[in-house]
């Protein structure tokens, strides 16, 4: 079923998606600034389902890297995260084994609150 959501609805559904992911979770967003809430949910997903496949695809910034705290989280705190960078990425979609969210909202704290 297709639903059209506002920013608050997208953030809510993304939280539910992460919480309900058991096998796979794919996060595709050009810009990343992962909130503490999302980080906690991702850590909990791995703890609850140790074999979950988490993929994060983002766009290279001008320096070719993510912000230090997000890169540290993805590389050193998540055990099952596979991280990929793509030039010129513009797509934003989030999916697990049951649900897909196709949106204009980046996985970026500012976007989740203000856009």
Strands 100-102 and 93-96: antiparallel
Task: Give the per-residue pLDDT at 6.
Answer: 84
| Contact predicate 84/91, CB 8 Å | no
93 is written with which tokens?
């979609």
Task: Give the per-residue pLDDT at 82.
Answer: 94
In the CATH hierarchy, which fold is given to the domain comprising 7-114?
Endonuclease; Chain A (3.30.870)
pLDDT in tens, 41-95: 999 999 999 999 999 999 876 665 666 678 889 999 999 999 998 888 999 999 9
């Amino acid at each position: 079923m297709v639903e059209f959501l506002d920013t608050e609805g997208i953030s809510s559904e993304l939280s539910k998606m992460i919480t309900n992911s058991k096998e796979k979770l794919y996060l595709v967003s050009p810009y990343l600034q992962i909130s503490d809430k999302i980080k906690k949910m991702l850590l909990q997903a791995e703890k609850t389902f140790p074999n979950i496949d988490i993929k994060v695809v983002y766009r290279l910034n001008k320096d070719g890297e993510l912000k230090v705290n997000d890169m540290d989280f993805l590389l050193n705190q998540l055990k099952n995260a596979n991280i990929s960078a793509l030039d010129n990425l513009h797509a934003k979609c989030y999916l697990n084994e049951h649900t897909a969210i196709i949106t204009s909202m980046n996985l970026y704290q500012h976007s989740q609150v203000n856009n």
